[in-house]
């Protein structure tokens, strides 16, 4: 069964230290608001599979993953939202709420990865 990508939005309410445990390579983008919507800029290097600790400045962040992911907030304040919607626009308006259950877009139904937050 094909997994659907999990789209995760992080909102750091204050400077925060966060530990990511990922099962695949992940690109973390910082979202900045422009007159035409949100613009993504890569935040640091790609996160390799395993455990990575990152300092996040206040702001919005976004990543996609096909594997289960664990997020642990070491200090600071981070809110998360995750969805498996199939829209072609990868940047939901942060902080986004998960869409209602059911298939959206042109991707077949699949088993979504899990996000756990500690």
Query: Is 54 in contact with 110 (CB distance < 8 Å)?
Result: no
According to DSSP, residue 105 is labeled: T
With a threshold of 0.85, does the pTM exceed it? no
Q: Determine, yes or no, domain membership for 76.
A: yes
Round to whole Å and give the CA distance between 15 and 111. 33
Per-residue pLDDT reduced to its tens digit, 70-118: 999 999 999 998 888 755 555 555 444 455 555 555 555 667 777 777 7
Q: Determine, yes or no, domain membership for 110.
A: no
Q: Determine, yes or no, domain membership for 97.
A: no
Per-residue pLDDT reduced to its tens digit, 36-66: 888 999 999 999 999 999 999 999 999 999 9
Structurally, the chain folds into a number of domains equal to 1
Q: Determine, yes or no, domain membership for 42.
A: yes
Query: Is 95 in contact with 11 (CB distance < 8 Å)?
Result: yes
Q: Determine, yes or no, domain membership for 68.
A: yes
Query: Is 65 in contact with 24 (CB distance < 8 Å)?
Result: yes
Q: Determine, yes or no, domain membership for 62.
A: yes
**Residue 50 is part of which domain span?**
1-83
């Amino acid at each position: 069964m094909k997994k659907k990508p999990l789209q995760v939005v992080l909102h750091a309410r204050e400077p925060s230290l966060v530990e990511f445990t990922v099962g695949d390579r992940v690109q973390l983008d910082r979202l900045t608001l422009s007159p035409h919507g949100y613009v993504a800029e890569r935040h640091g290097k790609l996160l390799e599979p395993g455990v990575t600790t990152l300092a996040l400045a206040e702001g919005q962040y976004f990543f996609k993953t096909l594997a289960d992911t664990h997020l642990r907030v070491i200090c600071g304040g981070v809110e998360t939202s995750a969805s498996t919607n199939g829209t072609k626009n990868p940047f939901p308006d942060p902080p986004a709420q998960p869409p209602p259950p059911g298939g959206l877009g042109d991707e077949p139904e699949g088993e979504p990865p899990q996000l756990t937050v500690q």
